[in-house]
Amino acid sequence: MNNVEDITFGSSGLDRSAALRGTEKANASKGDSVLFVWRGKILMNLENQPSLAKFEFPHPLCKDADQIFLGTENNQNYIAFDISQWEPAVRDQPDPNLFFDPTEQRHPRLDKKYAFCELRGQMLNLSKREAELCAIAKGLIHWNTLQNYCSNCGSLLKKALSGWQKNCDNCGASHFPRTDPVVIMLITKGNKVLLGRSLNWPQKMYSLLAGFVEPGETIEGAVRREVMEESGIQVGKVSYLASQPWVFPNSLMLGCHGEAQTEEIIIDRNEIEDARWVGKSELLDIFAGLNKSIFPARKGSIANFLLEKWLSDRLYY
């Protein structure tokens, strides 16, 4: 498939400068470009056309905040600062039970045009470079927040390599950021595609089936197993198409095309709420907003990307 890295969060060619991690050169210094993260949300500039809010170091919000080295450009660093210790007013607290949090949090020391926003709601407003920076920052900060104790001996860990590693002084174990491989599959039979929905998704939203790759399993095997478990559909030939970093919280989505050998759907209600075959002409109307019986996956997701490629007959070129 051509132009696969045009997908949201695809590589922008950022120089991640791994050799600088853990050195003084990876610490924020005057003139470096900094971005701020609050409990997984990214600080955006919402004035006119929304964009990633970037500031020069030093900045007042950097004080006492954990920093993560992201990479370099033109001899200057990109640094993410986690200010999750800040507590907004109670009325501005997000609802942790929502699939997508629409609330915005504004810090009292910043202009009102700046707000912390859910990345899924802003990803289409970002340039390729901004999207890659946000994906690294969100993923690494999430891992650093959760990975506090050694899984080998239970001792407290120390941050190393500018946020890209944690070490245990007690047993000597080193820990690295976690990325979970997930297969997401465009399953077709003739002119139809298989769509499904999970119970906690927004009303009427349908997407491609997906699931985690298990230990000792190939990508192709995971595609066939997950589709069978969730929908009862047998899959034959499987082809890899594209990938997408999906830091919600730490997945790498492996997009595949699978050719269905059967049509009868037998849903496992423990896995998904519903599944259905949708014809190409019907899906074209759904994407165009002419048919509102269901809604497709969010723009910017690999599911939406693959479906658009299929609708335009551009899966393999």
Instruction: Summarize pLDDT for 206-235 with one digit per residue, the tens.
Output: 999 999 999 999 999 999 999 999 999 999
Phi-psi category of residue 313: left, alpha or beta, with phi > 0 → left and psi -120 to 50 → alpha = left
CATH 3.90.79.10 spans which residues of the chain?
180-311
Q: How confident is the model at residue 5 (pLDDT cuts 50, 70, 90)?
A: confident
Confidence at residue 189, expressed as pLDDT on a 0 to 100 scale:
98
Q: Which residue has the higher pLDDT, 72 or 3?
A: 72
Extract the runs of DSSP E, i.e. beta strands, from 39-95. 41-45, 51-52, 55-56, 66-73, 76-82
Q: pLDDT, tens digit, for every residue of 89-123?
A: 988 898 887 888 999 999 999 999 999 999 999 99
Q: Rounded to an integer, what distance in angstroms lies between the CA atom of residue 64 and that of residue 172?
A: 28
Return the bridge partners of 188, or none.
193, 259
4 DSSP assignment = G
Give the angle subtended at the CA of 107 by the CAs of 103 and 112, to the nearest 5°.
80
Which of 308, 299, 2 lies closest to 126 in space, CA to CA? 299
Residue 202: both structure tokens together = 């927004």
Quote the percentage of the chain above a pLDDT of 90.
91
What sections of the chain are H helices per DSSP? 119-122, 128-146, 219-231, 280-287, 302-311
What CA–CA distance (Å, rounded) separates 74 from 70? 14
For residue 290, is pLDDT > 80?
A: yes
Residue 194 confidence class, pLDDT cut points 50, 70, 90? very high
Task: Label the pairing between strands 33-38 and 76-82.
Answer: parallel
Q: Are 278 and 192 in contact (CB under 8 A)?
A: yes
pLDDT tens figures, 31-58: 999 999 999 999 999 999 999 999 999 9
Asked if 108 and 30 touch (Cβ cutoff 8 Å), the reply is: no
Put simply, whether the predicted model's pTM sits higher than 0.85 gets the answer: yes
Query: What are the residues whose beta carbons fall under 8 Å from the beta carbon of 167, sequence distance 6 or more?
Result: 157, 158, 160, 173, 174, 175
Q: pLDDT by residue (tens digit) across 227-256? A: 999 999 999 999 999 999 999 999 999 999
Report the relative pairing of strands 55-56 and 33-38 from DSSP bridges.
antiparallel
How many angstroms separate the CA atoms of 194 and 75, rounded?
A: 48
CATH class name, domain 180-311 = alpha beta
55-69 pLDDT per residue, tens: 999 999 999 999 999
Q: What is the mean pLDDT of residues 265-270?
A: 94
* Other beta carbons within 10 Å of 194: 25
Which residues pair with residue 41 across a beta bridge? 38
